[in-house]
Structure 1
Amino acid sequence: MTIGTFSENGPTKCSGLEIKQYSEQALIAEFNNGFDKIRCTTENHITPFDTIQNFLFCSFKRKI
């Protein structure tokens, strides 16, 4: 499973709505009971308004 979210360096709002930011460790903790982390990476996204949003993407494998 792969999930993407705003990183701790990302915006605090998106389209006027409050959002939740995640660190790598916090996202791993959210899925720790049923999944093992494969890898995580961050990426900057440049919006049409020329602002930068930092995302965190993590891949997980279901625990057997």
Structure 2
Amino acid sequence: MFHKIDYPFLIAAFLSFVASVSLWFLVSHDLGLFVGLWVPSILALWVGVRVVLLASGVTTEGGRTDL
């Protein structure tokens, strides 16, 4: 289901979400909102990287596409 290229993006998005919620409740609502905007940006970058890699035909042994 997930490939090794996916994990850094998913971890970064999750950590950004946790940081956003923490900042919202502990520091400032404005900082929480700012960091919260990173989550969809990271996920959009992840989709872009996957599309580029699939379009370039990244393959492993056996001829199947594997990221």
TM-score, scaled relative to structure 1: 0.28
Larger helix fraction of residues? 2
TM-score, scaled relative to structure 2: 0.28
Larger RCO of the pair (alpha carbons < 8 Å, separation 6+): 1
Larger strand fraction of residues? 1
* Bigger radius of gyration among the two: 2
